[in-house]
Amino acid sequence: MVRSYMRHGPTQAFGIVNSPTANSAYDGRLAYVAGWEDVLVWDVKRGEMVSMWHSPSHTSPVTFISPSSSPSSSSSSSSSDTPKTFAVSYQDGSIRLWSFNSANPEIEASEIVTFNGHKKSISHMSWDVSGSKLASGGVEGEIVLWDVIGEIGLFKLKSHRGAITGLKFIPHPNPNKSTHPGFLVSTAKDTYMKLWDLETQHCIQTIVVGRSEVTSLEVKEYDDYLPTGQGEEEDGEGIRGRWIVVTGSGDGESKVWSLDKEKLDSGLKEGENGELPTLIQPLCTLPLPSSSHAITQIDFHPTLPLLLLQTNDKTIIVLRIRSEEEVNAKRARRKKRDKEKSKKKGKQQVEEEEEEQLNDGVTGDVKWEERVTSWCVIRANAKVKSFAMAREQVDSAKGGVQLLVALANNSIESYTIPSPSTSSKKSSKLPDGSSPEPTKTHVVDLPGHRNDIRSISISSDDQVIASCSNGTLKIWNARTTQCIRTIECGYSICSTFLPGDRHLVIGTKSGDLLLFDIASSTLLESYKAHSGSIFGIDVRPDGRGLVTGSEDKDVKFWDFELKEKGEGEKVVDRLGRETIYKTKQLALVHVRTLKMTDDILSCKYSPDGRFLAVSLLDSTVKIFFSDTLKFFLSLYGHKLPVLSLDISQDSKLIITCSADKNIKIWGMDFGDCHKSLFAHDDSIMQVQFEKGQERNSHYFWSVGKDGLLKYWDGDKFELIQKLEGHHGEIWALATSHNGQFVVTGSHDKSIRIWEKTDEPLFLEEEREREIEQMYDTNILDNLNREPDLDGGEGGETVEGVTKQTSETLMSGEKILEALEIADSDREATRTWEEENAKSQVDLPRPSRNAELVAYGDLDPDEYVLKVIQKIPTANMEDALLVLPFRYVISLLGYLDEWALKGQQTVLISRILFFLMRTHSNQIISNKIMRTPLLTLRNHLRESLEKQRNVMGYNLAALKFLKSSWEQERTAGLYEQEGMDEEAVRKRIEEGRGKRKRVVV
């Protein structure tokens, strides 16, 4: 009989505040940060997680979060109730669009669509102004433009030779060319900045930014050099204004560039000397403090004259942009001071020359480096990974700018930056005369560790989990995964609950034993137990003591005692007798020491209490009798030191794991090695037998630096299950006492619980599933590698967006299956009709396919349409690529029938256009296809004509409603303010044509 096991599955990871793999977003109240494969939404003020966005069976980490730009015309009251779209990219090259309503965070976020177009991880994303297009850049240097409304990839731009670090849309400066898709500015680590025309899909300018790689990009629209100083447009003077482009480099240098709107509107027209114009021109280098750290993020405030730059360390530099009036006033003051100095020196000639120069300086153009001045500097407690500003003004900000800072140590902070005041005489100071300083308002750090989790323990009732790291001990509720207690401690390496689950003992790197009372969250006592780090700790099976092993080559034995504490409390009874009651608390008493010849890495009692196993740095394991400490066995065979060991519940087997990536199973009777297993691809950090009712079973768990958790059968020496989920080395492992779950702690600062499910697991099926998964992965790699053969350095710079995934392969197989069922049903019906006509006898109708009957006895064309409609639009083109040509011909026949019925005209047009573009050579060479294609063309034109008439009717109705509303508004203005009809119309036209501008 084939033996079955119970499958284990992951649950929600906890202990994560934010992961350092992605950026952050902020709306003044809620913070959107990455939690490895999830997006976590935190209420910064309350320090609570309000939402988690998780895609089922998806384990790839989040790399970028980009909220869509909300239209500025919508009012705050109306836009607050509408869900906002967030684009979230992942390391596997996929993009998921999530819809989330921040006004009602208790409503779960919904996944709208998934885009697949990048072969590798995505490094940056950006939305256009309307929120209808999304640009994404990958680490391979490719830029993909997505149509969010149509849910398809438009095209792919391939010109960069490094990871994309910045993307910004620039609308066309001419309002008469509203149909133009605009331009795109991109930067990458190949030191280049490129300007793309999205209409022609070509690069129109390439700039070498500097010697170092470009790490950040920001674009802001300015009208700061107009003659009038205002943002009004004058007739006949062309398009005014420019875009300011700021780039940050890996050497800590930040440069400012100018993109003139008039030149961009003119395009690449040759000049008189035959040269093409330079659209993006350098302005200056920002005066920043000298630093070798890369500038990883740059951001302009949307309304205030502030520019924020994040360096690749613990600081964020906030710069203020002066107005032209302020710069000219400063020039005038400088001229006056220099004039007074020259008068004192009595140099009249020098005075006249300097006065002429200064007069020229006051009236000349204001240089951009003169406009930038330092405002304040934010210094965080740890390395800053990203920051995000609240785009809207928050009531609780009290006039300041709300800033969210995501740190690399698994915490987030919020700051308030004072807003620059234009009314103050000294603009570099606050209105009260003080220097601007950022204020830290909130910190979210309690729900997670700051450092790697090195040890995990579970209480005897499996209700409480204790996790230890460098500096903190945290107690978690195992059922709700909420943090109950946070206690400061040293650099803890090992820990264990004491009998009764009220106390916890921790062994530290400094050699101290720390005894904690969990209920009161206090440190009861600290013992200087060893002179080196304590690597092993285990409670005696009788529950009356424990053993510790250290790198000082000592194994020390401790007993538990209740010692009286303090002077006690006096109690007088009725007879006048005094009694002193002293409180007793648990204490550790050192009773004996066992000297070893090498450093001790682990120690463990056998469950029956007879033996003590100790692993040494010389790669051996020594087993002693626990009562007399006499030597019993020596286990040698590992090539590198044994990092952990465990003894089975029946005390018959001992397992050891080593840095040589092997697990060895030994017999406790004679010390013979039953089996040696190559278990992990890196050092194995910990092994433990599974506990529970089955005392005779020898199932055990192992974790390693390869980030995998593995489940083994110690009797058959076979791997049962391999579990993936952590994104770093796994340091700690603990098994529950009832055998229902396992807890792991990792370098990624997350804690994960793996629960036993009711689903049976068979080893043969599990191995077959793993082989099929590897086979599918190889197929996908080959399919996605084919287009790259023609590329390279001299390949095309623009191509279609295609990427085969397991979902698209399954979708293609569904279409194939539907076409086969429909064609076979039609063929059977045609054969039956022919035989009926020949035999002149009513033959019984052949039985139809079970699929068609199950869907309600559908016709073949209706069934194919139903299958195709269920395929997501984003996967449609990749699914159609799987079809062989003979099935393409069959599908064209069904398209003709749908067009004749007027069904799904948009879907038919999209499928037909893609099939004609993909299989044009075969269709042209096949003369038989001419007649059905002509019929399909006529039917589709008729269907499109009907659709156009319907849309035209709807547009006319909307225009009629708009004109009715304008007439009512005109009449209202006429009655209220007593204006004539021409004045009213002029006011409406002025309001319609005026554009909002920010004058800095």
Banded model confidence at residue 133, pLDDT cuts 50, 70, 90: very high
pLDDT of residue 977: 60
List the beta bridge partners of residue 506: 495, 514
Average pLDDT in the 448-457 region? 93
Residues 6+ apart with CB under 8 A from 955: none
Distance CA 908, CA 897 (A): 10
pTM: 0.84
Distance CA 42, CA 445 (A): 11
Contact present, 533 and 551 (Cβ < 8 Å): yes
Is it the case that residue 681 has pLDDT exceeding 80?
A: yes
DSSP helix/strand/coil, 586: strand
DSSP helix/strand/coil, 983: helix
**Strand ranges in 48-201 using DSSP code E only, listed in sequence order:** 48-53, 62-67, 84-90, 94-100, 110-116, 122-127, 133-138, 142-147, 152-158, 164-170, 183-188, 192-197
Is it the case that residue 310 has pLDDT exceeding 80?
A: yes
The mean pLDDT value of the chain amounts to 84
Residue 26, φ and ψ in degrees, nearest 5: -155, 140
Distance CA 815, CA 811 (A): 6
Residue 650, φ and ψ in degrees, nearest 5: -90, 5
pLDDT of residue 744: 95
Average pLDDT in the 271-284 region? 81
pLDDT of residue 605: 95
pLDDT of residue 790: 41
- 651-674 pLDDT, tens digit each: 999 999 999 999 999 999 999 999
Look at residues 599, 566, 594, 602 and name the one whose alpha carbon lies nearest to residue 581: 566
- Going across the sheet that includes 84-90, the strands are 62-67, 84-90, 94-100, 110-116
- 847-873 pLDDT, tens digit each: 888 888 888 888 888 889 999 988 888
Average pLDDT in the 370-386 region? 88
Look at residues 181, 182, 137, 133 and name the one whose alpha carbon lies nearest to residue 159: 137
- 936-959 pLDDT, tens digit each: 889 889 988 998 999 999 999 999
Distance CA 591, CA 717 (A): 40
DSSP helix/strand/coil, 876: helix
